[in-house]
Structure 1
Amino acid sequence: MFTQLAVRLLDAILPEPDEPEHLKTGRRGEELAYFFLRKHGYTIVARNFRTPWHKSELDIIGWNGGILCFIEVKTRTTRDIATAEAAVDDTKRNDLRRVARHYLRQCAENTPTRFDIVTVYLDRPKPEITILKSAFLLSGE
């Protein structure tokens, strides 16, 4: 709780980077998701993991119990078009799988894994955050 308050305070006093609004929204959603996941028992081990060989990045990587979770965060300011999780289409899933396989090279063999999607909606006074556990599998190309 204190850490989240400190981050919000720093965000309020530091100048905002000059970047498109959708990137600011995404960064805010990832920050909210990070604290939400910690509150729900996840141990976060990496954020914004990327490789030079893949287009996508893994937003958050964390342990939930004995399972290593690759977490894609989708943030929306409206519900008018499609659900946030709908943005994780087959192409995105396949690229996330490739990045996850790269990450797994540094882990023990047979590490249990899953892909979760966290949706963050900012269209109400209090953000609505949901975890979709086991949203898709590592094997599935």
Structure 2
Amino acid sequence: MGFLGKKVDGDAPARSTRARGQAAEERALAHLAAAGLALVERNYRTPGRGGGEIDLVMREPGGTLVFVEVRSRAAAGFGGAAASIGAGKRRRIIFAARHYLLRWPAPPPCRFDAVLIEGSRVQWLQGAFDAG
């Protein structure tokens, strides 16, 4: 606290948001691991500005690579967590996935999933969207 008890640390909201996002990713990862998926990579980002990010890259026992978007909301109001994955967000995730797959000589089957966290509820949407 600064002079007259005013908040001085302008970075606190960003850290708080980041911490909530990391906690949501941890919950999603635990949920997917319990279902038999294995973590391949976390927070994959394309180089440069304006690219995309993939929260979790997982692999199913059968070999399918799963690109996972994790969305968290305190409650289901205003469309909930699913409504926050708009066309622009999907486009950036697909861009990042294509970039990620460039390192594979023969890419495996892939899928785009979403893990939605609303309060205490965790919902896994397999095949939430596609790259087509």
TM over 0.5: yes
Give the whole-Å Cα distance in 2 for the aligned partners of 1:84 and 1:136. Answer: 15
Question: What's 2:81 paired with?
Answer: 84
Q: 2:58 aligns with which of 45, 58, 62?
A: 62
* CA distance in structure 2 between the aligned counterparts of 1:45 and 1:19, rounded to whole angstroms: 30
Structure-1 residue corresponding to 2:34: 39
4+ runs deviating over 2 angstroms: 17-24, 53-56
TM-score, normalised by the number of residues in structure 1: 0.77
Number of the residue aligned with 2:115: 118
Q: Distance in 1 between matches of 2:108 and 2:24?
A: 28
The correspondence of residues 1-141 of structure 1 with structure 2, limited to 5 A, is: 18-20=12-14, 21-53=16-48, 54-64=50-60, 65-122=62-119, 127-139=120-132
Larger Rg: 2
Give 1:19 shift.
4.4
| Partner amino acid, structure 1, of 2:127 | S
Please, which runs of 5 or more residues in structure 2 have no aligned partner? 1-10
- C-alpha distance in 2 between matches for 1:56 and 1:19: 23
Report how many residues are paired.
119
| Structure 1 gap ranges (5+) | 1-16
Instruction: List per-residue Cα deviations over 1:78-112 (Å, max 9, x = no partner).
Output: 21221211111111111111100010011242420
Quick check: 2:53–2:96 contact (8 Å CA) kept in 1? yes
Query: C-alpha displacement at 1:56, in angstroms?
Result: 2.7
Verify the 8 A CA contact 1:113 1:138 in the aligned structure 2.
no
TM-score normalized by structure 2? 0.82
